[in-house]
Amino acid sequence: MSGSGAGAFVRSRHAGIGRAFGSTTMAVYVITLFTIFLSPMLINLLVVILDQTVIAAALSTAQPLDWAFAGGLVSLVALAVGELRGPIAPGRFEATVRLQSPQPRWRSLGPTSLRAFVATALVLGAAGLALGAAGSISLDWSVGTVGWMGLGGVVLGMACADARLIGQAKVAPLRAWCSSVLGATSVLAIIYDVFAVAILVEIGLLALSAPWLIPFCLTRLRTETVLRHSALAEAASTLTRTGDWSAASRGHRSAPSTGRAMRVLPRWWTAAVPRTPWGLWLSAWRAPRRPLLGILLIALGALLIGCGISLDERLDSSAPDLALVMLVLAAALTLIHLGFGAFTDSLEFVAETAGCAPLFRLTAGAMLTRSGAAYTTLMLVLTLPLICLLGALVTGSRGLWDPSLGGTLVLGLIQIAAARIHAATKGPLPVQMTTPIPTPAGDISVLMILAWQFDAVAYGPLAAAVIVTGSLVSPWSMLASVVLILLLARGAQKRLRR
């Protein structure tokens, strides 16, 4: 079957089964609708954020080279994401038909690649235009600056689409060259401006090389890689529509590849010995990319914590200023919360085996208690030094050694770990929460699904951010964190018994 014949066959099958969103007209209609209604809301939100004194002062003095570091970081993330789920991931049926075509891969898979390429460029271009429009309202940016922001977003989107395809194709020399060059120049750009120019040149070359790079990578795509990514995309889409987003994210985890020969416990210890932080650390490194990403997110959160504390020194204690500090701390603790997720395999194992016979002569409650204690200890040992070192670089004179602030931060980290433990025991989404809830305003069952998925974020990092911000005014706010930790621990034990 030729490449055009394969595409016609796929389109006819989609039309035969009534797949409405497979229609280009329907897709354009939905995108236009979202653009008309959501773009004003997004621009207004960005205007409110840019109106803050500190952010406005930072962006008013920013130069084009200052954006180079962010562009290099985004390209590196796209390269890593492509290895887990690349842009060539149509449905399993369409992937099978296109892969069996006698045409070359660059022709049979070309339409799929083109759709992903154009979609990525348009999304980042629209994001650049939205940021530029907000800057023109709050910071008086010129029309030319807004246009350059949109053009830069389009070029960055083209580069990210190419980087994802490089990661999916797994051409070792090309992938190693891109990751090493982008990583080195992104780090050095913080110190030397010449490397910021180098990043812009690299992103431009990566975007302009698409006519050569896309056929080159498509020709070297492996059949098993495309089929695996297509199956993963279908499963994640189904789980996302049903509201089980945790299971959808777990499907993107890489398989364990290292550490099979490492011993978690010494030979003279018995299996009944409680799980240790060292054991959890070793088990996490069986899939090295997850803990590396987790440590990176924790380090970024530590830097943001330092930024939040330094803002408190420069601002007044008024309600708007405290709200800005709380927003920065919420972003920082949310990053740490996401970083903690790379080490939760043992907690999920305890929840999945709760109804089975006792393993290692330990009941489910004892396993959860010991694994939770080891997990919390590991997170504190890993996070506190990063916060003290990286946060102190930003806070300067005050640092993070104030007894009230330091104690509240430690309790906040324990609270985030307890939220992770509590979330690991809740199991799959109950079917009752997916039933319609009719109201005069429409069906609000989606709110129940959102509450189920993001409850750990609410009573974990967001609540901790509120408490840490409160400790800047009154040290007694840390009692609220103690109460939340006890409630989360009690709730996790009750969930496990069910």
What's the pLDDT tens digit per position in 118-151? 889 988 988 888 888 888 888 888 888 888 888 9
Whether 379 and 476 share a structural domain: yes
What are 360-385's pLDDT values in tens digits? 667 777 778 888 888 888 888 888 88
Whether the CB-CB separation of 37 and 121 falls below 8 Å is answered with no
Q: Mark which of 181, 216, 239 sits at the end of a domain.
A: 239
Range of the domain at 468: 272-497
Whether 221 and 80 share a structural domain: yes
Whether the CB-CB separation of 415 and 479 falls below 8 Å is answered with no
The answer as to whether 396 is a domain residue is: yes
Whether 479 and 394 share a structural domain: yes
* Average pLDDT score over residue span 164-173: 86
Using CB atoms within 10 A of its CB, is residue 212 exposed (0-12), middle (13-18) or buried (19+)? exposed
pLDDT over 60 at 3, yes or no: no
Residues whose CB is less than 8 angstroms from the CB of residue 206 and which lie 6 or more positions away in sequence, other chains included: 75, 158, 159, 162, 163, 178, 213
The answer as to whether 56 is a domain residue is: yes
Whether 76 and 194 share a structural domain: yes
Whether 192 and 278 share a structural domain: no
DSSP category for residue 275: P
User: Quick one: pLDDT at residue 158?
Assistant: 92
Whether 193 and 334 share a structural domain: no
Q: Mark which of 217, 239, 261 sits at the end of a domain.
A: 239
Angle at 335 (CA atoms; ends 333, 338), nearest 5 degrees: 110
Structure tokens at 324: 């800005």
Structure tokens at 418: 């307890």
Whether 141 and 188 share a structural domain: yes
pLDDT over 50 at 432, yes or no: yes
The answer as to whether 253 is a domain residue is: no
Question: 23 phi and psi, to 5 degrees?
Answer: -80, 135
What is the Cα Rg of the chain in Å?
Answer: 25
Whether the CB-CB separation of 186 and 76 falls below 8 Å is answered with yes
The answer as to whether 248 is a domain residue is: no
* Average pLDDT score over residue span 429-448: 75
pLDDT over 60 at 9, yes or no: no
Whether 308 and 230 share a structural domain: no
The answer as to whether 251 is a domain residue is: no
The answer as to whether 190 is a domain residue is: yes
The answer as to whether 393 is a domain residue is: yes
- Helical (H) or strand (E) element with 182: helix 172-188
User: Quick one: pLDDT at residue 154?
Assistant: 92
Whether the CB-CB separation of 156 and 173 falls below 8 Å is answered with no
pTM, whole model, 2 decimals? Answer: 0.72
Q: How confident is the model at residue 397 (pLDDT cuts 50, 70, 90)?
A: very low
Whether 233 and 337 share a structural domain: no
> Which of 464-485 are b and which e, b meaning 16 or more Cβ less than 10 Å from the residue's Cβ?
bbbbbbbbbeeeebbebbeebb
Number of domains in the chain: 2
CA–CA gap between residue 174 and residue 335 (Å, rounded) = 30
Whether 129 and 187 share a structural domain: yes
Task: Compute the CA torsion angle 328, 332, 333, 339 (nearest 10 deg).
Answer: 160
